[in-house]
Structure 1
Amino acid sequence: MLLEQLVEKAAQPPEYDWDAYYRWLFSTLAGHEVSRAGFWQCPHCLTVNLHLSPGRYGKCRGCGLIHLP
């Protein structure tokens, strides 16, 4: 019965549009329209970082390592 409920819940559309929310949030923080945002994990210090699309590279918040997407 629990499995059936989980399958039904997965088939329904999500309650919130998280992609639109994060696109709005990151556009507000960046000061310009952000069409794509990606997350990457630093292999050196394992910090999760954000990469905004128009940028050519990202820099780790923890150790300063340069990330090329």
Structure 2
Amino acid sequence: MVPHNFLIRPLLGLALSVPLLGLQGCAVVAVADAAVTVVATGVSITAKAVGAVADAVIPDGDDD
């Protein structure tokens, strides 16, 4: 006679493993999204700083 747990344990392990593997993909996407956000913010701040310096250095002809 086959014990009851002989079939239940592997199925339970499989049922718990599949969602965990799916969640790993979400974690990778979240980390990549965070990295892109950090880089985009850095580029935006740098562009604003360069624009401000250029506006200060290059005369535009307005005498305020």
Under TM normalisation by the shorter chain, which class is it?
A: 0.3 to 0.5
Kindly indicate which of the two structures has a greater share of residues assigned to helix. Answer: 2
Kindly indicate which of the two structures has a greater share of residues assigned to strand. Answer: 1
Where relative contact order (Cα < 8 A, 6+ residues apart) is larger, the structure is 1
Q: Return the TM-score normalized by structure 1.
A: 0.31
Q: Return the TM-score normalized by structure 2.
A: 0.32
Larger of the two Rg values belongs to structure: 2
